[in-house]
Structures are given as structure tokens and as C-alpha cells.
Structure 1
Amino acid sequence: MASAGTRIAVSAGVGCLAFLTLAVGAATGVVTALTGGTSAGAAPSDSALADIPPTMLALYQQAAPTCPGLPWTVLAAIGKVETDHGRAPSLVSTAGAVGPMQFLPATFQQYALPVPHGGAEPPTPWDPADAVHAAARLLCAHGARGGHDLQAAVYAYNHAQWYVDKVLAQAAAYAGTTGPGRPAPAPSQAAATAIAFARARIGTPYEWGGTGTPGHGYDCSGLTQAAYAAARIPIPRVAQDQYNAGPRLPAGTPLLPGDLLFYGSSPAAITHTALYTDNGRIIEAPRTGIPVREAPYRRQDLHFVGATRPTARR
């Protein structure tokens, strides 16, 4: 990783002004598609869900809303290009950059504080939570806030146009869509936090009555309650009460990331709830023997009753 001139890379084609102009123009189009007037970016595409480890995906989605206008996909793309989300054989570069986001230690110290939830104390570029949040702060300081200039922000990370193009192209691949060429709606900061919390629990065992206390798993409503508690929005404990608490969405209302979806035989007989993530998918704690997972929200084994939007109560 290179910040403020710490690593300069030059490709042969960059010296050609015509080539550079075309590359910048293409990158500008990608930036427009990525931001789409939103602050948190799109929902994960299938390729993002397949490629990004759930814990890292959760960190990218948690860190991005700390800089309004920074799509989480850009953070994820940097993590991919730098170290394949921490899976590279070595997390130490020839220039001395270290950790999953490849920070030079001196640069990391400029953006290390405050320590994020789950980060190491004292903060270190080797800790994924510390590193991802520091990367968000660096990008924010160099143009990402408000989506003002994502190209400049990424260029500050590594001073090379090829790097900017590669990161933005990867970010676009990680962004889901709701239709041909249309960005998926971005979650609010509270919804993004709830989704990130739930996604980080994928693989946790199902436990009837479970609320995720140490040594225990989740049931469906225990997971959704805990996810929104992480976003500082209190909701009731059981699925029926969560549905009754609303605010309910009228039939036909387009779903947004973070909405709670409810299933059962009728509005008065709710038996299951899940957190909507977009692209027709939910994160749910399904039933005994099946851990927390991401799955389609319309299925033959579930009768969809309706949805609520807890974030609308703020």
C-alpha cells in the first residue's frame, strides 16, 4: 500500500496522454456507477459473496459508513488487490507495507485511531479491523467523503493509474445490481451495521431461544434482534412481536437492505424472520441443524407474509 507518495508504481502505457485520458474517462464512469448518489455502496454481488471471507466482508461494510460517500466495495477491492483479503502467502511487501491492507507502519499510525469495535489495543496494521477502518479513514481524507473524488482517494493509496483502474473495476464487480446496469439500493448506516453484524455470524449454529450469548447460537429472531442492537435500534425479542412493532411496509413496496422479512401462515401467526440483504437474499438462522446462512428470500419452504423497516423509526 502506498499513501501520500510512499509507493510509486509506473506502467509503460501511463506515459501516453491519450491512453491516460481514456483510462481516466473509463474510471470516471465506474465511479459514477459505484456511487450512484449513495453513501454506502451496493449490496454484494454473487462474485463478492463467493470471493470475500464473511469476516472481511463484514469489516468492509462496517467501516465504509464511517466515511459517508465511500462505497464498501472500494474498501473490499483494495483488500482484494493488496492481499486477496489477507490470504496472500506473505503480508509483508518489499517496500515494508504490512498486514491485510498493506500499510506502512508510519502511515498506519496517522489513521489508526479511534480503535474500532473488535480492534486490537494498541492498534496494529496486522489486525483486520484496525487495518480496514484505517484504510477507510485514509480514503476519506483524500477525497472519498461524500463521494467527492474516489479516483483521487484510491490514487492516494497507491500512486499509479493502473492501480486506480484495477481497484475501481474490482469494486464494480463486487457491487450487486437490481436490474440491468442499475446499482442496487444502498443500505443506510444503521442497516449496513445490522447486515454486517449478521453476515459476520454466518456459520454460527442454530439454537432455539439463542441470542448469541457466549457459547450459544441464535434462533431467527435472536439473530435479527442482535443485529439491530449492534445498530443501536431496539426491537422486540420474538418474531411475532418484531412484526407487530413495525413499521410495516405496504404490499408491493420495494425492499431495501436491512428490512426484516417475516414468514408464517398469516400476519397473526409469524413463525420465522430474517434480515434482507438485497438481490432477493436474506441472512437467517433457519432451524435446528442448519447454521446461520445467506439464502434466497422466496422459497417453497417459507410463506412470505410481509416486511418491516426498523430504520424508519429513527
Structure 2
Amino acid sequence: MMAKAAAVVGTVLLVAVLAAAGVVNAVSSLFGSTSSGHVNCAKPVDDIPPSFCALYIAAARVCPGLDWSVLAAIGKIETDHARLKAPGVSIGENFAGAGGPMQFLEPTFAGVLAHHTIPSGGATPPSRYNPHDAIHAAAFYLCDSGAPRDLYKAIFAYNHADWYVRDVLAQARKYAESANLGSGNCTEIRAVTPAARAAIEYACTKLGLDYVWGGDGETEGGFDCSGLTKAAYNAAGVELPRTAHTQYNAGPVVPAGETLLPGDLVFYGTSRDIHHVGLYIGAGQMIHAPTFGQVVQVGPYRWTGDDYYGATRPHRPVST
């Protein structure tokens, strides 16, 4: 719900919350690393309708640096992307006077229009009930309120409640990760963090090189499994130990049952003998240097009879 529809929290309290939670750094580490240009809205992104997905991505561009997932999270929390059956979504207003898919108060929406021109593609004149117009207006409003430099402040301006900001950021994180679970190939690389993307891009350039035991790259004529992952992450600015076993121990370990993300390292063996590692690229696929007589290749990270042990996330964003 737009600003003034909820109780205002004092500035002193807000500053204290920000300082205690370290929100600014955490937000930058997540949303500064995603790329709207790599989101394929033709493939459903979690529960976002494709038409709304495209609007969130397009609208985010009017506020350079604002990630599409923040707009999507607001749209989800406010009206479930206009699917909420309640007063003030498609017509009328709710109890606080808000209306439309992004729940604008009429004076706030008019204020945005007074300072910004909504791109063509919506209603004439622009309407807070039109998804195109409302989502673009939300992007302009967030930008005017401090996004992306101070994203917490900008979302707080949208609805003056700390719980609301936390819920939006949590939902945005889910959308950002869902949209970047990876394609499983090197022609459509998607990753949540710059380090993961850089590692995958490097490994993709090594497809077809021979497996060489102890190989660290082209000077040896190829790679072994851990030589490839070490070199890939070295290209991403992340230093890894040399062997598969020590790379696993370096962590951080991905908890069992958690969804793998592109850039995770996947390991095989036992606690006493981890003998193989690959670089996960999404869709159940990894890039790896399998064994003698084979080349660096893309293949399934799980197969019948494998001895999969676990995964690590050396590209992990700064923790919240």
C-alpha cells in the first residue's frame, strides 16, 4: 500500500534498524548482481504471469540499477500481480484509498505523473489501474525515493512499515534466484552473482579441451576436474584450493535439500575421499572434466549409481 496508508515509523528508529541489520550491504550484494536482461519471461518465473514479468523488467529500466525483482515483489505483496479479488485492485479503492495492481493512492500517482512521462503502451491518459502505467509509476516513485542506492529507504517510502520492507526484500530475493536457476547450457548463461557468471563463462570457453590429470589449463594441454573449477573461479576473482577434497572443505556447503544455483560446485565421493567436482550451470547440468580419454563437457550432475556427495557455493552473496 502506498505511503501514508500505514503508520509512519520515526526516522531515528529506521536508522537504528538499518544499522543493526546491515541492510544496505546485503541488498547491494543481491540485487546489484542480477541482470534483468537475462530473464526469459517466456518461461514462467515462479508465480509471475509472463505479461507482468515483461512489464517489471521494462519498467525497471526507467530507474537505472533498480532490479526488476523489487517491482515484482511489490506487485506480489500488494495484489498478487493483480489476481487478488478485493476492492481497489481492478476498480474502486481499498479501505485506505489505494487502487490498481501496485496499490497507488490517487494523489501519489498524480504526483508521479507531474514529474515523469509514463512510456507509451498503457492507458490514455495513464491510469493507476493499468498494469503498464502502474508498474512504470512504481519504478519512478522508487527511484525518486532513493532506489537503487538506498533501496530500503525507497521501499519504506512506498509503505511506511519495516515489516513491509523486509517482506518485499525477501520476496525479491526469491524471484531473483528463481529467475536465475540456470539454463543448463553455455548459450544462455544465467547466474545470481557476478562471480558465478564469470566462472561459468570461463568454463564454457574450455569445452572440448582434453582431460589431463593434474592439468591447470592450456599449458598442460587441458584440465582435470578440480583444475577446471579452480581456474574458473580464479577467473572470477575467487581463490580455491587445488583438489576436489580441499575445495569441498573450503565451502561454504549448500545445505542438503536446498536448490542448487548456477556456479555451485558439485562433488562426488565420500567424506574420506571426494574424488570429483563439477561446476553446476542449472537445469540439472554441470561443466566438468570427467576422466582420461574424455574432454571438458556439459553433462548431467546426477545419474544412476552416482556417488554424489554434496555442493558448495563459493560465489555466495553477502549474508543478511
Taking structure 2 as the reference length, the TM-score comes to: 0.50
Pairing 1:50–2:59 present: no
Aligned to 2:131: 128
How many residues get paired? Answer: 189
Aligned to 1:137: 140
Question: For 2:204 and 2:2, how far apart are their aligned partners in 1?
Answer: 48
CA contact (8 A) 1:115 1:123 kept: yes
The offset of 1:154, in angstroms, is: 0.5
Aligned to 1:115: 118
Compared with structure 1, are the counterparts of its residues 156 and 108 closer, same or farther at alpha carbon in structure 2 (3 Å cutoff)? same
Question: For 2:193 and 2:42, how far apart are their aligned partners in 1?
Answer: 13
Aligned to 1:183: 192
CA contact (8 A) 1:63 1:136 kept: yes
Helix, strand or coil: the match of 2:52? helix
Aligned to 1:33: 30
Compared with structure 1, are the counterparts of its residues 159 and 24 closer, same or farther at alpha carbon in structure 2 (3 Å cutoff)? farther
Query: Which residue type is aligned with residue 163 of structure 1?
Result: Y
Question: For 1:137 and 1:99, how far apart are their aligned partners in 2?
Answer: 16
Unaligned runs of 5+ in 1: 186-248, 255-277, 280-295, 299-314
Of 53, 60, 82, the match for 1:86: 82
CA contact (8 A) 2:30 2:193 kept: no
Compared with structure 1, are the counterparts of its residues 7 and 140 closer, same or farther at alpha carbon in structure 2 (3 Å cutoff)? same
Which whole-Å deviations, capped at 9, do the CAs of 1:140-186 have from their partners, x for residues lacking one? 00111xx311111101100111111000110000013468xx6256x
Question: For 2:56 and 2:174, how far apart are their aligned partners in 1?
Answer: 15
Question: For 1:103 and 1:87, how far apart are their aligned partners in 2?
Answer: 16
The offset of 1:31, in angstroms, is: 4.1
Question: For 1:137 and 1:70, how far apart are their aligned partners in 2?
Answer: 10
CA contact (8 A) 1:39 1:69 kept: no
Question: For 2:41 and 2:20, how far apart are their aligned partners in 1?
Answer: 24
Question: For 2:54 and 2:106, how far apart are their aligned partners in 1?
Answer: 24
Unaligned runs of 5+ in 2: 183-190, 195-200, 207-260, 263-282, 286-320
Question: For 1:170 and 1:41, how far apart are their aligned partners in 2?
Answer: 20
Question: For 1:149 and 1:167, how far apart are their aligned partners in 2?
Answer: 14
- Superposition RMSD in Å: 4.0
Which whole-Å deviations, capped at 9, do the CAs of 1:23-76 have from their partners, x for residues lacking one? 73357414421123x675874799971300111001000000111010000000
CA contact (8 A) 1:77 1:170 kept: yes
Compared with structure 1, are the counterparts of its residues 47 and 142 closer, same or farther at alpha carbon in structure 2 (3 Å cutoff)? farther
Question: For 2:203 and 2:15, how far apart are their aligned partners in 1?
Answer: 54
Aligned to 2:151: 150
Question: For 1:139 and 1:17, how far apart are their aligned partners in 2?
Answer: 18
Larger Rg: 2
Instruction: Detail structure 1 runs of 4+ shifted over 4 Å in the superposition.
Output: 14-18, 38-42, 44-48
CA contact (8 A) 2:118 2:137 kept: no
Question: For 1:21 and 1:93, how far apart are their aligned partners in 2?
Answer: 30
The offset of 1:252, in angstroms, is: 3.5
Taking structure 1 as the reference length, the TM-score comes to: 0.51
